[in-house]
Amino acid sequence: MKNNIFLIGTHWGDEGKGKVVDVLSENANACIRFQGGHNAGHTLVINDKKFILHLIPSGILRDNVKSVVGNGVVVSLDALITEITELEENGISLSNKLFISENCHLILPTHIALDQARERKLGKKSIGTTGRGIGPSYEDKISRKGIRLLDLKNETIFLKKLDSLMEYHNFILENYFKTKCIDTNSVARELLEKYHKISKYIIDTDEYINDLCKQGGVVFEGAQGTMLDVDHGTFPYVTSSNTTLSGVVSGTGANMSLIKYGLGITKAYSTRVGHGPFPSELHNDIGQKIGKIGGEIGATTGRTRRCGWLDLKVLKKSIRLNNLSGIALTKIDVLDNFDEISICVDYGSINYETFEVENLKFIKLPGWNESTVGITKYDDLPKNAKAYIEAIENLADISVDIISTGPARNEIIQKINIFDA
């Protein structure tokens, strides 16, 4: 049986998870999202065409793959329908391929309004959220007020729940944030209409997911990254879900003993979008050069991503927290034209007011000044590129099993087949 695999971003998101999931999906049977929502933006490049997926698993472009949105994901019906429509317009069939858990919590227009109002009120201290209502939706889940997809099955129950929840949201919007209320009747009408368009995809997923795991070849696709985890990340500058290993289990109901291999997705340098500490950030022309070559513009919000050298301390933490078996090192080609490349190996405490970091330590390695774009065999990499990869393996005590050498599907080195590892 093929291994079931979970795949998690090791840093602050945007490590290239979508690309790697798309590559692995060629040999997968299913691809499952377990947390987050349409704050994610996973980019796939196939025959020069770019697809950005926010909510639907990145395996959806493959006919052989079942795509499941697990119970841990928060769902905006607007975002879901937009994405389904785009895929269908591109000739991608979803019937008998897409399955969404009935236990997923909804993102309401008031969640979006609350997210944005809160950010405005925080001013300079804002989190820099994607403004998609993610945090407020998870808050309502944890405080047991939230509305799930299954609630939409029964119109009477749904309207009762929506009325009471939106009354509460509108009270806060009006009296605390001094902003406009949202009309409950029109939200109800729109949600019911949208629900009917997508209800055919909704099922009770936990049994289905465990059956898929028993067959093997399942890829659990993380969104965001380890340092955005609400428990283990750079709190409060995090997202509102468990982006780490525990999210795989709680967000799907999968039996962990059936999941054999954990793949960390690590970018060859580090980036962060949104506010919060970023120890290895480069506030100079090297940071700008990395961002420019790497095209580091957010796939969801279009914001410029902050860039820095690879943060190895974070990588080690991520390996530990997620019990990773190996990593996929992505965007190595972005470092092709640097005389010297640094790795941030350690630092002391982080000041969460100023984001200053004590005792930053770097090691320097020589660059390779040669193109790695599109290389598919490890032995074909320049000597210094191999030395960079091997330095990461030695310092973090992990094997780099996959190396991505460009945004396209075929630009990849797979040192081993992780479905057999």
Shortest Cβ 45–ligand GDP spacing (Å): 5
Q: What is the C-alpha separation between 420 and 322, in angstroms, rounded?
A: 20
Q: Is 48 exposed, middle or buried (0-12, 13-18, 19+ CB in 10 A)?
A: exposed
330 lies in the binding site for ligand GDP (CB under 6 A):
yes
39 binds, among Mg ion, ligand IMO, ligand GDP, none (CB under 5 to 8 A by kind): ligand IMO
229 lies in the binding site for ligand IMO (CB under 6 A):
no
Beta pairing partners, 399: 326
Specify the residue, 66 or 132, whose C-beta has the smaller distance to ligand IMO: 132
Q: What is the signed CA dihedral for 309, 310, 313, 319, rounded to 10 degrees?
A: 170
Size of the site for ligand IMO (CB under 6 A): 24
Q: Which of 4, 103, 205, 224 binds ligand IMO (CB under 6 A)?
A: 224
Site string for Mg ion, 292-321 (x = CB under 5 A): -------x----------------------
18 lies in the binding site for ligand GDP (CB under 6 A):
yes
* Cβ-Cβ contacts under 8 Å for 329 (sequence gap 6 or more): 266, 267, 268, 389, 392, 400, 402, 403, 404
Specify the residue, 245 or 375, whose C-beta has the smaller distance to ligand GDP: 375
Q: Is 181 exposed, middle or buried (0-12, 13-18, 19+ CB in 10 A)?
A: middle
H/E element, 220: strand 218-221
Query: How far apart, in Å, are the Cα atoms of 392 and each of 122, 128, 225, 292, 383?
Result: 38, 30, 19, 24, 14
Q: Is 310 exposed, middle or buried (0-12, 13-18, 19+ CB in 10 A)?
A: buried
Q: What is the C-alpha separation between 314 and 243, in angstroms, rounded?
A: 14
Site for ligand GDP in 332-361 (CB under 6 A): 333-334
151 lies in the binding site for Mg ion (CB under 5 A):
no
236 lies in the binding site for ligand GDP (CB under 6 A):
no
Q: What is the C-alpha separation between 308 and 300, in angstroms, rounded?
A: 20
Which sequence positions are flagged as catalytic? 14, 42
236 binds, among ligand GDP, Mg ion, ligand IMO, none (CB under 5 to 8 A by kind): none
Query: Looking at residue 50, what DSSP letter applies?
Result: E
296 lies in the binding site for ligand IMO (CB under 6 A):
no
Q: What is the C-alpha separation between 196 and 131, in angstroms, rounded?
A: 26
9 lies in the binding site for ligand GDP (CB under 6 A):
yes
Q: What is the C-alpha separation between 117 and 131, in angstroms, rounded?
A: 9
Q: What is the signed CA dihedral for 13, 19, 22, 26, rounded to 10 degrees?
A: -130
Specify the residue, 198 or 329, whose C-beta has the smaller distance to ligand GDP: 329
Site for ligand GDP in 294-313 (CB under 6 A): 295, 299
Q: Which of 9, 14, 132, 267 binds Mg ion (CB under 5 A)?
A: 14
Stretch that binds ligand IMO, among 12-20, 155-163, 345-353, 386-394 (CB under 6 A): 12-20
Site for ligand IMO in 89-148 (CB under 6 A): 127-130, 132, 134-135
CB 377 within 8 A of CB 413: yes
Q: Which residues bind ligand IMO (CB under 6 A)?
A: 9, 12-14, 39-42, 127-130, 132, 134-135, 223-225, 228, 239-240, 273-274, 299
Q: Which residues bind Mg ion (CB under 5 A)?
A: 14, 41, 299
Q: Which residues bind ligand GDP (CB under 6 A)?
A: 9, 13-19, 41-43, 45, 295, 299, 330-331, 333-334, 404-407
